[in-house]
Structure 1
Amino acid sequence: MQKQESQGRKDTLLIRVAGLCVSLPLTDKQMVSFCQGYLVSPDETPDIVLQVTEQQLQAEHECSGVKDRHALFLACLYRNLCAVLPKYDAFMLHAAVVMVDGVAYAFSAKSGTGKSTHMRLWRRALGPRVIPINGDKPILRFQNGTLYAYGTPWAGKEHFQSNSHAPLNGLCFLDRGTNNRIRTLEKTEALRRTMHQIYRMPDAQMMKKQLVLIDRMLNCCALWHMQCDISEQAALLAYETMRETRDVAESV
């Protein structure tokens, strides 16, 4: 993929996410703080150059009701990043991802279901072996036939994230329940659930490319559905079940 020249580097920040060098507008000191842990040398050539227009900010405000300009700016930046990710065999999944012993596990659910709570339970049950990759908006990217989960600065209210990545071993969709139960999930049901947790591309070609990537993900990852409470037993059941799954390398 041909790299792009960044214009006005004094007014930009360069970060690395999902193995890609991304140029962001340097609007204020909050941007520097937000990107800590992802900043790279200003001498690098970006793969992606992002900008945000006033029209996008206004549309985001009208859609979300958010008034804070910095928050609106960050939301628009991530939308614009997600819109080009399929060019690089990558896409954003609304999920929480943890890494245990070098392997990533993803949990996706409707907002408010408890993804972040489940992440906390894994950390409580398994201790320092658990590293949060991203608590809300990880990037998934295929490289050399393997699907990796990457951390990003965009990580929800709790900001559970780290600049780390690992091969994705399994994807589990969560629902609240009074008893802890986990079952394998058919690809058709997993696809239906996944479609509610992705960025809807405004460009038809990018959407088509993203759908191909999602199909590859569903073919190479173990798929699960779990009903669970907010106990350490739920986290242990999820981990013990998901770690037994097949190899993370894509079968071609």
Structure 2
Amino acid sequence: MVNRYKIADKVAEINSIYKEVHDYCADYLTDEPADYSITTTRSDIDFEREKSEREDKIEGLPVRHFTDSYLEELAVYRKIAEELINYDTILFHGSVIAVDGVGYLFTAKSGTGKSTHTRLWREYLGDRAVMVNDDKPLLHISDKGVTAFGTPYNGKHRLGENISVPLKAICILTRAADNHIIPVTTGQAYTILMQQVHRPDDAVKMMKTLNLVDKLADSVGLYNLGCNMDISAAKTAYEGMQ
């Protein structure tokens, strides 16, 4: 099955085995000409299965069993991420919320509460706050700044929109008894930035990714937020990044 989808301002022609890939991306369907093409194979699905099983074992978790169609969805996004590096765009693990049309990205180790925190922002700021992508946004990095894009791959709760916003700040979340936010340097943030960005196996693309992460860190505000997941944490974070 073949269709075209406009994701992060570039059109991907996707040739998949299962139709679920296309159901997942339906909100991004376009008839514009393709900038690049992606084809998935059984070996791509096998790779995603082996990777998932390996990660579960490393973390000491029960091995999860996924359908082939779900694994193909992961394979497609991996291929999209690899292609978009050529267009100065990277996949980043985090939750992006926009307030008055300006984006803020929250990132942390899994289980820290990124989605919970952006939910608090929506409660605190009401209609002013819009979810862009709750899991794996795409970030386009240029001399004019950073643009965060919604994508079909927006987390298990499917929170996000087919929109783009200028990214103002990246905030690293940690758990704390009392809410507090401080600016951090590129050096202080660099390890988590590299952990959360998609890192390609290809050496040339990896070098470009490193350069894009450097440029990203220089283009937005960087903060560390200690928060207790009370709604006051949203107030502390939003005011601290103004």
Q: Which residue of 2 aligns with 1:162?
A: 161
Q: Which residue of 2 aligns with 1:36?
A: 26
Q: Which residue of 2 aligns with 1:6?
A: none
The 5-angstrom pairing of residues 186-201 of structure 1 reads: 186-201=185-200
RMSD: 1.3
TM-score (norm 2): 0.91
The Cα offsets for residues 214-246 of structure 1, whole Å up to 9 and x where unpaired, read as 11110011000011011110011111111x2xx
Counterpart of 2:209 in structure 1: which amino acid? Q
**Could you say which structure has the higher helix fraction?**
2
Give the total of aligned pairs: 231
**CA distance in structure 2 between the partners assigned to 1:237 and 1:49 by the alignment:** 44
Deviation of 1:98 after TM superposition, in Å, equals: 0.5
Counterpart of 1:79 in structure 2: which amino acid? R
Q: Which residue of 2 aligns with 1:116?
A: 115
**CA distance in structure 2 between the partners assigned to 1:144 and 1:40 by the alignment:** 28
The Cα offsets for residues 97-143 of structure 1, whole Å up to 9 and x where unpaired, read as 00110100000111111111111110011001111000010000024
Q: Which residue of 2 aligns with 1:54?
A: 42
The Cα offsets for residues 49-101 of structure 1, whole Å up to 9 and x where unpaired, read as 11222122112112214431111001111111111222101101101000110
**CA distance in structure 2 between the partners assigned to 1:31 and 1:74 by the alignment:** 5
TM-score (norm 1): 0.88
**CA distance in structure 2 between the partners assigned to 1:38 and 1:169 by the alignment:** 25
Preserved contact between residue 48 and residue 71 of structure 2 (Cα < 8 Å): yes
Preserved contact between residue 125 and residue 236 of structure 1 (Cα < 8 Å): yes
The 5-angstrom pairing of residues 96-175 of structure 1 reads: 96-143=95-142, 145-175=144-174
Preserved contact between residue 84 and residue 206 of structure 1 (Cα < 8 Å): no
> Gaps (5+ residues) in structure 2?
54-64
Deviation of 1:38 after TM superposition, in Å, equals: 0.8
Q: 1:31 to 1:201 in 2, by over 3 A?
A: closer
Preserved contact between residue 183 and residue 223 of structure 2 (Cα < 8 Å): yes
**CA distance in structure 2 between the partners assigned to 1:120 and 1:98 by the alignment:** 9
* Structure 1 residue 45 corresponds to structure 2 residue 29: no
SS at match of 2:187: helix
Q: Which residue of 1 aligns with 2:12?
A: 22
Deviation of 1:29 after TM superposition, in Å, equals: 4.3
Counterpart of 1:220 in structure 2: which amino acid? S
**CA distance in structure 2 between the partners assigned to 1:139 and 1:214 by the alignment:** 13
**CA distance in structure 1 between the partners assigned to 2:183 and 2:141 by the alignment:** 23
Preserved contact between residue 21 and residue 72 of structure 2 (Cα < 8 Å): no
**CA distance in structure 2 between the partners assigned to 1:45 and 1:71 by the alignment:** 27
Preserved contact between residue 83 and residue 202 of structure 1 (Cα < 8 Å): no
* Deviating more after overlay: 46-55 vs 127-136: 46-55
Deviation of 1:45 after TM superposition, in Å, equals: 1.5
Q: Which residue of 2 aligns with 1:182?
A: 181
Q: Which residue of 2 aligns with 1:248?
A: none
User: Deviation above 2 Å: which 4+ runs of structure 1?
Assistant: 25-33
**CA distance in structure 2 between the partners assigned to 1:33 and 1:143 by the alignment:** 31
Q: Which residue of 2 aligns with 1:12?
A: 2
Over the matched positions of the two proteins, sequence identity in percent amounts to: 35
* Deviating more after overlay: 54-63 vs 99-108: 54-63
**CA distance in structure 2 between the partners assigned to 1:35 and 1:144 by the alignment:** 30
